[in-house]
Amino acid sequence: MPKLTVEGLGEFEVAEGKRLVLALTDDAAVDQLHACGGNARCTTCRVEVVEGEPDQITVAEQETLQARE
């Protein structure tokens, strides 16, 4: 089962395939401002992947990464 580590809060097990913003709000109880419903459209979330790689990436995430190149 994937694990989410939130600095200052701890480590949380989350369901496979669950959107990060929903894992933050549901599992870690972080009051994360978001208006996109976990679809990477509003660009308010900022995360850093420090270990591992996501199995899937959304089109919006791909476009954002390509725009930064």
Rounded to two decimals, the pTM is 0.62
Three-state SS letters, the chain = CCEEEECCCEEEECCCCCCHHHHHHHHCCCCCCCCCCCCCCCCCCCCCCCCCCCCCCCHHHHHHHHHCC
Longest distance between any two alpha carbons in the chain, whole Å: 34
**Confidence class for position 29, pLDDT limits 50, 70, 90:** very high
45 token code pair: 């979330």
Q: Which residue has the higher pLDDT, 11 or 38?
A: 11
